[in-house]
């Protein structure tokens, strides 16, 4: 195959720009000139960018559509990066600008409007490189999954008393042995393995096994190649010997890792031009090799621990550091919360004092108004009433005046206290 690393049809590559990649390839293949060049160009020439130069000769309609696809992809990436920056910046986490820029490696973002030769060249090279690393990243993810599973198991054991811990360990060993007790697994891609598929999945006589017929039966889209999905489908019968989703001892995440290992192994053995596809010729050549007829035994996952003791130690240290960082972050947040609570209490106290000042000021105003109204009538009363009444009225007047003085002094004291409190708060 001459397609860039097996990018034929609509199979999801798992890359973050998969949709863009698919749409570009689909539209380029609609151009007759480009399609012919694609099928007649050697894989190494494609990697070196020779195919990308043919973009200048595709039809105007295709170029216009590619321009539109690129603009959509640039907008998608900008939205994605903006969201990441908002999220990370809002959490006081340093933004990894290198990781963000890597999102744009598959296109020329300096020209966000038109799809040029450089864009196709970048897309092919990025997809080739990223797909080569994709399986490696999946293996790393699986390793972390297994280490986390073991970490959680050990942490759970720490919460148990001696009797419960012993019982739990015995159950764990029982499940481990039960999982390992399964029928023999054939070497992936060997004659025995393919014959079982021929017999059990295809319902054919194993004595009539024919590699060419087998290939045509399992080339499900009829394009003359086994892609990764078609290859992985061949291992289902083998995986069913080891894994059953209804069994407690069987982990379906491990099953997918085993499937990946099998596919990688066959690809390494059979895919001679390393394009992530197995052609009919490559398949037939492989069936004539000694390894096809007399393969080595296949070691399953339970015979190959996913991580070393040193890797587990480093993983535990990393988790401990993460826990410490989270604890420190929690402490900082609690301190911020306490400080905000203290400030809120101060604000509430200031509000109460302000309300008191306003109430006392209102009383003072009312008292003064009463006194001003009362004094003129008081003067007339002193001439018209007897001595006792005069003394009573003077007493009332004096009492009101004293109350006014007390209110004034209290108001002055409150205002002085408030100013002092504000100064001390500002200093703090």
* 255 vs 367 pLDDT, higher one: 255
Between 96 and 139, whose confidence is greater? Answer: 139
Whether 54 and 94 share a structural domain: yes
Residues 168 and 230 in one domain: yes
For residue 87, being part of any structural domain is answered with yes
Q: Are 10 and 22 contacting, i.e. CB atoms less than 8 angstroms apart?
A: yes
Is pLDDT larger for residue 275 or for residue 300? 300
Mean pLDDT within 40-51: 74
In three-state secondary structure terms, 241 is helix
Other CB atoms within 10 A of residue 66 CB: 21
Q: Does the structure show a pLDDT above 50 at 387?
A: yes
**Number of separate domains in the chain:** 3
Same domain for 352 and 261, yes or no, is no
Percent of the chain with pLDDT over 90: 41
Instruction: Give the integer Cα–Cα distance in Å for 27 and 22.
Output: 9
| 246 and 343 together in one domain | no
pLDDT at 197: 96
Inside any domain, residue 204? yes
Predicted local confidence at residue 412, as pLDDT: 63
Segment (H or E) for 278: strand 278-279
What pLDDT score does 382 carry?
A: 46
Q: What is the pLDDT of residue 231?
A: 93
Q: Rounded CA gap, 37 and 365, in Å?
A: 97
Of 281 and 57, the structure prediction assigns the larger pLDDT to 281
Residue 372 vs residue 32, higher pLDDT:
32
**Residue 413 pLDDT:** 67
Structure tokens at 418: 């408030």
Angle made by CA atoms 69, 73, 76, in degrees to the nearest 5: 140
Note the pLDDT tens digit of each residue in 203-217: 999 999 999 999 999
Q: Is 324 within the bounds of a domain?
A: no
Q: Considering the entire predicted model, what is its pTM?
A: 0.65
Torsion, Cα of 277, 279, 283, 289 (10° steps) = -90
User: What pLDDT does 315 receive?
Assistant: 95
Task: Check whether residue 346 and residue 389 sit in a common domain.
Answer: yes
Residue with tokens 């990436």: 77
Predicted local distance difference test score (pLDDT) of residue 62: 86
Whether residue 344 lies inside any domain: the answer is yes
Q: Is residue 254 part of a domain?
A: yes
Same domain, 54 and 129: yes
141 is a domain residue: no
* Per-residue pLDDT at 111 exceeds 80: no
Average pLDDT over residues 181-191: 95
Calculate mean pLDDT across residues 143-148: 96
Q: Is the CB of residue 390 less than 8 Å from the CB of residue 381? A: yes
More confident residue, 406 or 323: 323
Confidence (pLDDT) at 90: 52
Q: Do 40 and 113 lie in a common domain? A: yes
Q: Does pLDDT of 390 surpass 80?
A: no
In a domain, 140, yes or no: no
Do 298 and 356 fall within a single domain?
no
Pairing of strands 225-226, 278-279: antiparallel
Residue 1 has a pLDDT of: 43
Domain boundary among 265, 285, 307: 307
Above pLDDT 70, what percent of the chain? 77
The Cα-based distances of 358 to 212, 344, 362, 421 in angstroms read 99, 21, 6, 18
Spell out the residues 6+ positions from residue 278 whose beta carbon is closer than 8 angstroms to its own.
225, 226, 231, 266, 267, 270, 271
Classified as helix, coil or strand, 279 is: strand
More confident residue, 222 or 372: 222
Could you say which of 118, 134, 150 is where a domain stops?
Answer: 134
Mean of pLDDT values over 175-182: 94
One domain for residues 108 and 206: no
Quick one: DSSP state of residue 7?
Answer: -
Structural domain range at position 414: 338-427
More confident residue, 68 or 12: 68
- Per-residue pLDDT for 12 more than 60? yes
Let me know whether 290 and 169 are in one domain: yes
Answer yes or no: is pLDDT of 379 > 60: no
Least confident of 16-25, 144-153, 326-335, 389-398: 389-398
**Cβ–Cβ contacts within 10 Å for residue 13, how many?**
19
- What band does 100 get if pLDDT is binned at 50, 70 and 90? low
> Do both 289 and 356 map to the same domain?
no
> Tokens for 420?
């002092």
Residue pair 78/100 in contact (Cβ under 8 Å)? The answer is no
319 pLDDT above the threshold of 90: yes
For the residues 319-326, what does the mean pLDDT come to?
91
Residue 289: pLDDT above 70? Answer: yes
CB contact at 8 A, 300 and 241? no
Average pLDDT for 101-107? 69
Q: How many residues does the chain have?
A: 428
pLDDT at 418 over 70: no
What are the strands, taking DSSP E only, across 159-248?
225-226
Rounded Cα distance between 280 and 223, Å, is: 10
In this structure, is residue 45 part of a structural domain? yes
Give the burial class of 402: count Cβ atoms within 10 A of its Cβ; 0-12 exposed, 13-18 middle, 19 or more buried.
exposed
pLDDT of 362 strictly over 60: yes
Q: 55 with 108, same domain?
A: yes
Q: Which of 87, 116, 134 is the C-terminal boundary of a domain?
A: 134
């Amino acid at each position: 195959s001459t397609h860039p690393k097996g990018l034929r049809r609509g199979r999801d590559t798992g890359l973050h720009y998969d949709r863009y990649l698919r749409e570009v390839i689909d539209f380029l293949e609609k151009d007759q000139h480009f399609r012919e060049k694609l099928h007649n160009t050697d894989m190494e020439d494609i990697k070196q960018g020779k195919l990308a130069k043919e973009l200048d000769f595709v039809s105007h309609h295709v170029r216009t559509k590619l321009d539109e696809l690129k603009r959509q992809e640039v907008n998608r990436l900008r939205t994605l990066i903006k969201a990441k920056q908002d999220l990370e910046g809002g959490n006081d986490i340093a933004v990894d600008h290198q990781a963000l820029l890597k999102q744009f490696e598959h296109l020329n973002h300096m020209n966000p409007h038109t799809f040029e030769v450089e864009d196709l060249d970048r897309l092919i090279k990025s997809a080739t490189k990223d797909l080569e690393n994709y399986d490696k990243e999946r293996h790393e993810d699986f390793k972390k999954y297994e280490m986390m599973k073991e970490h959680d198991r050990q942490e759970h054991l720490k919460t148990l008393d001696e009797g419960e811990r012993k019982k739990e360990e015995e159950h764990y060993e029982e499940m481990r042995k039960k999982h390992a007790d399964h029928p023999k697994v054939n070497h992936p891609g060997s004659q025995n393995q393919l014959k079982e598929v021929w017999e059990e999945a295809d319902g054919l006589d194993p004595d009539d096994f024919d590699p060419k017929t087998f290939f045509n039966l399992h080339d499900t889209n009829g394009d003359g190649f086994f892609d990764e999905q078609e290859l992985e489908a061949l291992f289902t019968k083998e995986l069913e010997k080891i894994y059953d989703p209804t069994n407690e001892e069987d982990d379906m995440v491990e099953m997918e890792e085993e499937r990946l290992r099998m596919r990688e192994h066959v690809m390494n053995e059979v895919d001679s031009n390393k394009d992530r596809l197995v052609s009919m010729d490559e398949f037939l050549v492989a069936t004539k090799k000694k390894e096809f007829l007399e393969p080595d035994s296949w070691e399953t996952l339970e015979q190959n621990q996913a991580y070393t003791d040193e890797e587990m130690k480093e993983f535990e240290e990393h988790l401990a550091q993460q826990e410490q960082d989270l604890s420190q972050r929690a402490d900082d947040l609690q301190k911020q919360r306490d400080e905000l609570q203290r400030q809120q209490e101060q604000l509430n106290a200031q509000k109460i004092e302000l309300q008191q000042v306003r109430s006392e000021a209102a009383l003072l105003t009312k008292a003064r108004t009463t006194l001003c109204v009362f004094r003129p009538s008081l003067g007339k009363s002193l001439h018209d009433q007897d001595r006792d009444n005069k003394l009573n009225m003077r007493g009332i007047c004096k009492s009101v005046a004293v109350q006014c003085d007390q209110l004034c002094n209290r108001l002055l004291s409150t205002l002085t206290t408030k100013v002092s409190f504000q100064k001390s708060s500002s200093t703090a």
